[in-house]
Amino acid sequence: MNLNRYRQGLASALLVLAGLLISTSAIAQKFPNRPVRIVVPFAAGGGTDILARLLAQRLGDQWGQNVMVDNRPGAGTVIGSDAVARSPADGYTLLFTANPHTSNPALIAKLPYDTTRDFAAVSMLVSAPMVLVVNSSVPAQSVQQLIALARSRPDSLSYASSGNGGPQHLAGEYFKFMADVNMVHVPYKGTAPALVDLIGNQVQVSFTSLLASMPHLKNGTLRALGVTGLKRVEGFADVPTLSEAGLNGFEYLTWYGVFAPAATPQALLTSLQQDMARALDHPDINGRLAREGLQAVANRPEEFDAFVRSEIETVRKLVAKAGIKAN
């Protein structure tokens, strides 16, 4: 082997590698130099939308750029998600979504995108339990009373969700399976319209986020019967877990996270995750999350990607076990 030629080749390869590293680093460093759009595939006013707007405000302050929230509800989050999957992989269009991202593959036969191939995970930002609520017209004061009421009036109670295949839908079906009751599922295009009909008694029950239901719990139009985590929520210590209330082992958590289009440079994904972690660490946001039962996560892109792949399989098993249908 010609030693000089080998050294020249090695030097050339190192220069190419260094150039790639510098170019991806430069991409992250100069980002953003124009407004950023965060697509929320839910209607305005729900828990996902509220969190996205909190994040957008903090990121806008950090970046010195306008960060816009673009609500694209419909088709169980597919419309908004597909818009992001088709966007340029430059970080200027991001997806802020939740559990339907990992449940849709088990519930929708033909998605217009591949959930693991067409998105790059940025970070799971927050996880939280949901709360089982009824409106003030429902006589049940506890989980067991609700179960007894549902058994005495089969199919007369209906529960609202933010859409087919979403966490509220899956939690409701899981509840029906665990409690051996029948309730009619009524899907809406987001949490906010579901809460309107819940308060108006067009539907009687819902699994929803504490963030979205908090004002209605405080003014008495909704009543909390239980939370879906295995631990009680700070600030709602008098509300039992569903496991404590007789559904042993019941647990279903919501998560909220950010994705970018596939092929977004890894350096930019890392930079985005770090900026979002910094935003969540701000006292105004961190304190609010803690008060409302939400836990900041802000994990790294590779950790979030591994979670997404695992959760897709977990949901497939849950759907099969409970016989859940995206009706």
Q: How confident is the model at residue 29 (pLDDT cuts 50, 70, 90)?
A: low
Are 37 and 70 contacting, i.e. CB atoms less than 8 angstroms apart?
yes
- On whether both 114 and 144 belong to a single domain, the answer is no
Residue 161 pLDDT > 60, yes or no?
Answer: yes
Task: Count the Cβ atoms, other than its own, within 10 Å of residue 182.
Answer: 13
- On whether both 207 and 284 belong to a single domain, the answer is no
Residue 22 pLDDT > 60, yes or no?
Answer: no
Count of structural domains within the chain: 2
CATH number at residue 57: 3.40.190.150
Positions of E strands within the chain: 36-40, 67-71, 93-98, 119-135, 158-161, 184-187, 205-209, 222-227, 253-261, 295-296
Tell me whether residue 88 is in a domain: yes
Tell me whether residue 21 is in a domain: no
Residue 163 pLDDT > 70, yes or no?
Answer: yes
Task: Express each pLDDT in 208-263 by its tens digit.
Answer: 988 889 899 999 999 999 999 998 988 788 999 999 999 999 988 899 999 999 99
Residue 317 pLDDT > 80, yes or no?
Answer: yes
Tell me whether residue 1 is in a domain: no
Tell me whether residue 7 is in a domain: no
Domain of residue 84, residue span: 33-127+253-322
Task: Express each pLDDT in 164-211 by its tens digit.
Answer: 777 898 999 999 999 999 999 999 988 889 999 999 999 999 999 888
